[in-house]
Chain A
């Protein structure tokens, strides 16, 4: 089984709708990173969360970290076609938190936004 599980695996929404992507860890999270990837391209850094209860927002995207549940959620408000892509969560799952870039990634969530 995956150490980081993302749900759903894919999501199709109509433009303007809100949506949430979840990332659940089987281990203690020492840092949680959200990235977006366009097909065939690199990863674009969205946000990093480090502390339980932390919440960050950038434009219409909000991410939260629930440390007790070992889970993070990414919420997009009023989705647009430009939000389409693959969303990846990555986390430092190393015992004690290594604090360097050895991240474990989820399988990704493919988001399609229909105009």
Chain B
């Protein structure tokens, strides 16, 4: 496991469709964080998950966005009925525990384009 794996790298969706973004954390990491990088706005925290639990979703838009991190498989960020304003780069990071003294490893991101 070379690092945090995100797929797809690029995703194009028409307005109104659903987008599913996947994040596989580093081996041994059970904590996942999702961030969104909007043009002109910088990188913003969205949600923090542990296996089967959402710990902090204070950065998630109230509607259309959801995230999960099941017991098995990758973490999923789901955006329903996408709009043009959802076009952004979505990054996930992982850590082995809540307290992390070694930095957070980010994936290469998924670039979502809504047309």
Contact = CB atoms under 8 A, between A and B. Distances in A.
Interface of A: 33, 35, 40-45, 47-48, 50, 88, 90, 99-108
> Which of the four size classes fits the interface of chain B?
20 to 34
A105 B43 CA distance: 6
22 contacts: A33-B104, A41-B109, A42-B91, A42-B106, A42-B109, A43-B91, A45-B104, A45-B105, A48-B103, A50-B101, A88-B43, A99-B98, A99-B99, A100-B31, A100-B48, A100-B95, A100-B98, A102-B45, A102-B59, A103-B45, A105-B44, A107-B42
B92 to A, nearest CB: 10
Interface of B: 31, 33, 42-45, 48, 55-56, 58-59, 91, 93, 95, 98-109, 111
A106 B41 CA distance: 10
Contact of B108 (A42, A47, A50, A90): A42
